[in-house]
């Protein structure tokens, strides 16, 4: 098998917003390679619709202090407040810098960046919704992604598209490099670098109904976990309340920001009961639980398992101007016009609050004491700083990716300038080649697709919005079963050229690992907080559980350690809206 | 609601002989399902070697552009209810095929690099955002929607005949920056697009407009670029 | 290259083909006109032109000219600033006009000739 070696000062896995922003930051100080398993503009960041939050105050008075409070409260007080403060105060110069880079934001009549309301964002510490999300129609992610990609090209970043990462090599507590495969011809490419920034995104594809792309499978997290490094807060997975019924396609929170409301089978605006002050703009975990409770109590539309998102009362011009993409989705996939008919929606797996633990400068932590792995950084959805705690507010993810992508890039500069030497050992490379050969040439009787479908269905049924102990224990058994079945998979495509079946098999192995991690973490956290809702422990338990979960893989099995939450500004209170 | 559909797919498997063949698969699909759902079903249950690109599956990433019943479309945006019972699927035309429905998009992407595809403004930026009126932003509204799926350029007969032609996508990208009121590189960009394989090779065939999944009127933008070039005195003598 | 045709790509195709045909025709036409120098060769050539095949050819030429003119006008209008929203309308309308005008012209022409 052909083995190619490359050296770059910094290698970045993932070409979404976080990866691209990091690349722009460190390319001024050394060579940068950005790897993606897709073409860069196809990254899932492009699907983000609603907006990127910053207290610019262009449409109404706003304050980064309120933004910090909203994010802390939205995270159900599990977010690290020093990191949140940094993010919310950094937000203003970040957005302005994005605009200078050329992002085509929608504008106010005075020509400033336009802002819209979003779930959980308020003024005066919770008094009323505030316009904080800067947007570009409902294609904000696309607009920012293209601008960052263009700047990356302008600044000389080297892109390696359609390369699949197979292994992350860390030895002597320092990054040595990564082993990848060029998808187009199956050749192995080894990248040695001083700094490695992981920006590989989320893993929504482990659930059956998700807004995420097929590429969102979380291999990099699994690779680190299998080597004994921790993952943080994995039990917290956000289910976005408004996904198209039957498809999971995202309908942005911005639709509710522009005035859309949720109604149940009785025609009632049910969010008034769950969040009397801000109603439909309550944080996403609360809205998802509200929708599923209504459905469970028989108040779905015609008793069925969905509710309606009603946009009929919104000015047609606003729908055209600010929500054109979701209008198109409804027309194409459901054959309905949102200005004339309500949209059937149901919660969909959307965002991973947990991930690779990092500090506020993107350095990956290897334990709860704050010790780091030399040369390893992470940013974006795959990382957990933690700014989102137990639940993420809308429009904070785009902000998180750009702010911490930049910070990770910046902190990588010190390593780039050092004289660190690194090598990926031949044995490691041979190991990977052998694994790949094994999958390709195996003659088992299991099929990748059927195992994946079973995994996704079970995760959706037993570990989504509402969780309980019996279900989670049963799910662990089912995952063990699936692990055994995975050992027997075989694929039909034996070629080296663009072998997507092989990649599906590789991804599935990692998805199974992550599922086991998530379910184990969900099982051990005996409280309900943010997006993690245990029906058998329905209350939030600050006395015992105001801490982050760190999960490790050891020879004796899965080990949990805890890291205290950094509380600097706001003491935890009851989360009411 | 469920019907049988016959998918006739043009295969290209470089490791086999013959490497080119047509395969037929008869599968059951709900009428509201997409072509991409059909392809995934075939890959999962009939032939694991079937290769195609996919990511978002709802028309925003542009990975799954292919020729369906003779016309370029996104497989994830085409519902089987709008198709006849026999559906012919081929890769995008005029680009080298890597395998089955995945083509080598390098030629397509490098055209973008030729039009200075980034905002150029060397004036010191203001403390806050540069101001831009809503009307000015609307000028580029359609052109920022492009997802670079490749459907337009590969459907253009001029591109079929002349692979060096910039094509609708790159010209749209040139428009996006030239008409962005914050950009200052109009002169350089016009020089790049008024050469031998540039904007003058567009003959208003409109194939691109017919296939754009974002419904962008690309030819309208190219015509605006032509008028701007004429106004500024470019006649094709440069680059 | 198997690709679906539409009214707009057909309009371009016919514009191109008629353009090439007309270029060859111009050469033939100049050849004919060059015989206007003396009455003998003029009469001989005019005699040849009375051949029915030539007359059918002239009908064809009429169609070719109409197609090229209308397709060309359509492109000119679009480039001059008429909204591209109307490009298909112009193509269909043009096609109808060409058919009508050619048919009426053909009727009169054939009446004269036969």
pLDDT tens-place string over residues A211-247: 999 999 999 999 999 999 999 999 999 999 999 998 9
Q: Do B93 and C8 touch (CB under 8 A)?
A: no
Q: Of B56, B140, B141, which has the smallest distance from its Cβ to A213's Cβ?
A: B56
Judging contacts by C-beta atoms under 8 Å, the chain A residues touching residue B52 are: 500
Q: Say if the Cβ atoms of C6 and B94 lie within 8 Å.
A: no
Q: What are phi and psi of A287, to 5 degrees?
A: -70, -40
Distance from CA of C19 to the nearest CA of B (A): 14
All residues of chain B having their beta carbon less than 8 Å from the beta carbon of residue A38 are 53, 55, 61, 63
Contact C3 B227 (CB under 8 A): no
Whole-number Å distance between alpha carbons of B110 and B113: 5
Q: Do C87 and B93 touch (CB under 8 A)?
A: no
Domain ranges of chain B: 2-103, 106-231
Could you give phi then psi for residue A106, rounded to 5 degrees? Answer: -70, 155
Instruction: Answer whether B55 sits within 8 Å of A44, measured CB to CB.
Output: yes
Q: How far apart (Å, rounded) are the C-alpha atoms in residues C3 and C7?
A: 13
Chain C closest CA to B210's CA: distance in Å? Answer: 9
Closest C-alpha to A261, from A269, A253, A250: A269
Interface test with C, best of B142, B207, B211, B218 (most C CBs within 10 A): B207
- CA gap A65, B41 in Å, rounded: 50
Chain A CB contacts of B127 below 8 Å: 96
- For chain B, say whether C78 makes contact (Cβ under 8 Å): yes
Contacts of C6 in chain B (CB under 8 A): 206-207, 210
How many residue pairs bridge chain A and chain B with CB atoms within 8 Å of each other? 151
Query: Among B81, B144, B178, which would you mutate to test the A interface (most chain A Cβ atoms within 10 Å of its Cβ)?
Result: B144
Contacts of B177 in chain A (CB under 8 A): 102
Token representation of residue B38: 């059909």
Task: Say which DSSP state A330 is in.
Answer: I
Name chain B contacts of C83, Cβ cutoff 8 Å: 220
The reply to whether residue A44 touches residue B144, judged by beta carbons under 8 angstroms, is no
Cis peptide before B93 (omega within 30 of 0): no
Q: Do C87 and B203 count as a contact with CB atoms less than 8 A apart?
A: no
Q: How far is C69 from chain B (nearest CA, A)?
A: 15
CA distances from B17 to A498, B11, B21, B95 (A): 17, 12, 9, 21
Chain B residues whose CB is inside 8 A of the C12 CB are 157, 203-205
Contacting residues of A for B136, CB less than 8 Å apart: 107
CATH code, residues B106-231: 1.10.1060.10
When CB atoms are compared, the residue of B119, B131, B140 closest to A101 is: B119
- As a CATH number, domain A241-347 is 3.90.700.10
Distances (CA, A) of C23 to A67, A468, A546, C36, C60: 71, 82, 85, 21, 15
Kindly determine whether residue C84 and residue B205, on different chains, have CB atoms separated by under 8 Å. Answer: no
- Cα–Cα distance measured from residue A501 to residue A319, given in angstroms and rounded to the nearest whole number: 41
Q: Which residues of A are catalytic?
A: 284
- Answer whether B153's CB lies under 8 Å from B164's CB: no
Mind telling me how many Å the CA of B70 is from chain C's nearest CA? 5
- Given an 8 Å threshold on Cβ–Cβ distance, is B206 in contact with C8? yes
Neighbours of chain A (3+ CB pairs under 8 A): B
Torsion of CA A455, A461, A462, A464, to 10 degrees: 100
Contact between chains at C87 and B205 (C-beta distance less than 8 A): no
Report domain extents, chain A: 241-347, 426-539
Alpha helices in chain B (DSSP H): 35-45, 106-113, 134-139, 157-161, 167-178, 186-193, 207-211, 218-231
Q: To which CATH superfamily is domain B2-103 assigned?
A: Beta-grasp domain (3.10.20.30)
H or E segment to which residue A166 belongs: strand A163-171
Q: Residue B235 has what pLDDT?
A: 55
Which pLDDT does position C47 carry in this prediction? Answer: 84
Task: Take residue A279 and report the two structure tokens written for it.
Answer: 């109603």
Contacts with A449 from chain B: Cβ below 8 Å: 43-45
Cα of B145 to nearest chain C Cα, Å = 19
CA distances from C28 to A570, B205, C25, C34, C109 (A): 92, 30, 5, 10, 21
In the structure encoding, which two tokens stand for residue A134, read together? 């800067």
Are B and A neighbours with ≥3 CB pairs closer than 8 A?
Answer: yes
Whether the CB of C84 is below 8 Å from some CB of chain B: the reply is yes
Tokens linked to B63: 């990975």
Segment C4-51, tens digit of pLDDT: 999 999 999 999 999 999 999 999 889 888 878 888 888 888 888 888
* B217, closest residue in chain C (CA to CA): C84
Residue with tokens 């691209």: A20
**Whole-number pLDDT of residue B239:** 42
SS3 for A399-420 is HHHHHHHHHHHHHHHHHHCCCC
Q: Which of C2, C75, C83 sits opposite B204 (nearest CB)?
A: C75
Separation CA B175–CA B221 (nearest Å): 7
Domains of chain C: 7-113 (1.20.1300.10)
Distances (CA, A) of A222 to A170, A203, C32: 14, 10, 83
User: How many angstroms from the chain centroid is the CA of residue A550?
Assistant: 18
Could you say which of B155, B203, B223 has the minimum Cβ distance to residue C3? B155
pTM value is 0.94
Verify whether the Cβ–Cβ distance B58 to A333 is below 8 Å.
yes
In this complex, the residue of C79, C81, C84 whose CB is nearest that of residue B217 is: C84
Cα distances from A444 to residues A64, A482, C32, in angstroms, run: 57, 14, 81
- CA angle, B7 then B10 then B14, to 5°: 140
Residue A525 C-alpha, separation from nearest chain B C-alpha, in angstroms: 32
For chain A, residues with pLDDT lower than 50 are none
Taking CA–CA distances from A214, the nearest residue in chain B reads: B55
In angstroms, the separation between the Cα of residue A565 and the nearest Cα of chain B is 34
In C, which residues are within 8 Å of B67 by CB distance?
A: 3
Query: Residue C112 belongs to what H/E stretch?
Result: helix C87-113
In this structure, are residues B81 and B2 in contact, taking their beta carbons and an 8 Å threshold?
Answer: no
User: Cα A295 from chain centroid?
Assistant: 27
Low-confidence ranges of chain B (pLDDT < 70): 235-239
- Smallest CA–CA distance, residue A383 to chain B, in Å, is 21
Q: Which CATH architecture has domain A426-539?
A: Up-down Bundle (1.20)
């Amino acid at each position: 098998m052909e083995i190619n070696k490359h050296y770059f000062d910094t290698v970045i896995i993932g070409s979404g917003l976080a990866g691209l922003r990091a690349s722009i930051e460190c390319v001024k100080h050394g060579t940068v390679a950005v790897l993606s398993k897709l073409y860069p503009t196809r990254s899932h960041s492009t699907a983000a619709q609603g907006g990127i939050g910053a207290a610019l105050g262009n449409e109404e008075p706003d304050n980064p202090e309120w933004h910090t409070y909203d994010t802390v409260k939205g995270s159900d007080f599990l977010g690290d407040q020093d990191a949140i403060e940094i993010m919310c105060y950094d937000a203003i110069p970040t957005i302005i810098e994005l605009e200078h880079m050329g992002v085509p934001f929608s504008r106010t009549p005075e020509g400033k960046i336009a802002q819209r309301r979003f779930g959980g964002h308020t003024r005066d510490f919770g008094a009323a919704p505030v316009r904080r999300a800067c947007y570009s129609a409902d294609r904000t992610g696309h607009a920012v992604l293209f601008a960052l990609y263009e700047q990356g090209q302008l600044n000389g970043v080297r892109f390696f598209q359609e390369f699949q990462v197979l292994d992350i090599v860390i030895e002597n507590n320092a990054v040595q490099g990564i082993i990848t495969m060029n998808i187009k011809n199956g050749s192995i490419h080894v990248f040695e670098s001083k700094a490695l920034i992981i920006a590989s995104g989320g893993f929504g594809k482990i659930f059956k109904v998700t807004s995420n792309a097929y590429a969102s499978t979380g291999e990099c997290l699994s690779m680190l976990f299998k080597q004994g490094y921790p993952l943080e807060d994995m039990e917290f997975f956000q289910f976005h309340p408004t996904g198209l019924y039957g498809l999971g396609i995202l309908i942005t929170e911005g639709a509710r920001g522009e005035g859309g409301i949720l109604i149940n089978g009785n025609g009632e605006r049910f969010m008034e009961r769950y969040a009397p002050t801000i109603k439909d703009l309550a944080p996403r975990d609360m809205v998802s639980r509200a929708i599923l409770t209504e459905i469970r109590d028989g108040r779905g539309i015609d008793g069925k398992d969905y509710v309606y998102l009603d946009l009929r009362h919104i000015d047609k011009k606003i729908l055209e101007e600010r929500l054109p993409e979701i209008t198109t989705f409804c027309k194409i996939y459901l054959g309905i016009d949102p200005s004339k008919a309500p949209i059937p929606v149901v919660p969909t797996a959307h965002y991973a609050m947990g991930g690779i633990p990092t500090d506020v400068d993107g350095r990956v932590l290897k334990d709860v004491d704050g010790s780091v792995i030399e040369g390893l950084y992470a940013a974006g959805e795959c990382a957990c700083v933690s700014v989102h705690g137990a639940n993420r507010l809308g429009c904070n993810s785009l902000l998180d990716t750009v702010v911490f992508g930049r910070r990770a890039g910046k902190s990588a500069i010190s390593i780039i300038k050092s004289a660190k030497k690194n090598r990926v050992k031949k044995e490691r490379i041979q190991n990977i080649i052998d694994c790949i050969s094994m999958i390709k040439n195996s003659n088992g009787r299991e099929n990748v697709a059927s195992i994946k479908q079973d995994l996704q269905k079970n995760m959706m049924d037993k570990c989504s919005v509402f969780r309980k102990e019996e279900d989670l224990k049963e799910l662990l058994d089912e995952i063990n079963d699936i692990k055994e079945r995975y050992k027997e998979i075989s694929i039909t495509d034996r070629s080296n050229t663009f072998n997507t079946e092989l990649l599906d098999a590789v991804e599935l192995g990692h998805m199974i690992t992550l599922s086991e991690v998530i379910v184990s973490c969900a099982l051990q956290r005996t409280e309900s907080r943010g997006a993690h809702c245990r029906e058998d422990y329905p209350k939030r338990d600050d006395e015992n559980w105001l801490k982050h979960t760190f999960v490790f893989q050891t020879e004796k099995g899965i080990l949990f350690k805890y890291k205290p939450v950094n509380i600097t500004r706001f003491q935890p209170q009851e989360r009411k809206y | 609601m469920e019907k049988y559909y016959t998918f006739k797919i043009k295969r290209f498997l470089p490791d086999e002989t013959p490497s080119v063949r047509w395969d037929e698969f008869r599968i059951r699909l709900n009428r509201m399902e997409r072509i991409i759902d059909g392809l995934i079903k075939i890959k999962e249950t009939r032939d694991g070697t079937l290769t195609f690109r996919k990511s978002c599956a709802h028309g925003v990433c542009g990975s799954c552009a292919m020729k369906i019943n003779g016309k370029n479309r996104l497989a994830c945006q085409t519902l089987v209810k709008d198709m006849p019972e026999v559906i012919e699927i081929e890769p995008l035309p005029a680009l080298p095929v890597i395998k089955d429905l995945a083509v080598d998009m390098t030629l397509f992407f490098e055209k973008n690099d030729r039009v200075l595809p980034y905002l150029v403004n060397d004036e010191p930026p203001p403390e806050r955002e540069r101001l831009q009126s809503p009307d000015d932003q609307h000028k580029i509204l359609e052109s920022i929607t492009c997802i670079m799926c490749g459907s337009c350029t590969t459907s253009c007969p001029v591109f079929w005949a002349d692979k060096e032609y910039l094509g609708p996508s790159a010209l749209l990208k040139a428009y996006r920056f030239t008409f962005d009121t914050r950009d200052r590189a109009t002169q350089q960009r016009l020089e790049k697009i008024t050469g031998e394989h540039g904007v003058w090779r567009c003959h208003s065939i409109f194939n691109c407009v017919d296939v754009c999944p974002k419904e962008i009127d690309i030819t309208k933008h190219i015509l605006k670029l032509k008028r701007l070039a004429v106004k500024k005195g470019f006649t094709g003598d440069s680059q | 290259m198997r690709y679906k045709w539409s009214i707009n790509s057909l309009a371009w195709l016919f514009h191109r083909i008629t353009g090439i045909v007309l270029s060859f025709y111009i050469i033939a036409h100049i050849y004919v006109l060059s015989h206007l120098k003396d009455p003998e060769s003029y009469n001989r050539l005019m005699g040849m032109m009375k051949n029915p095949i030539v007359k059918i050819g002239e009908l064809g030429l009429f169609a070719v000219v109409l197609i090229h003119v209308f397709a060309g006008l359509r492109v000119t209008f679009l480039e001059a600033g008429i909204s591209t929203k109307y490009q298909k309308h112009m193509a269909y309308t043009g096609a109808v006009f060409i058919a009508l005008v050619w048919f009426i012209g053909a009727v009169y022409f054939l009446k004269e000739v036969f």
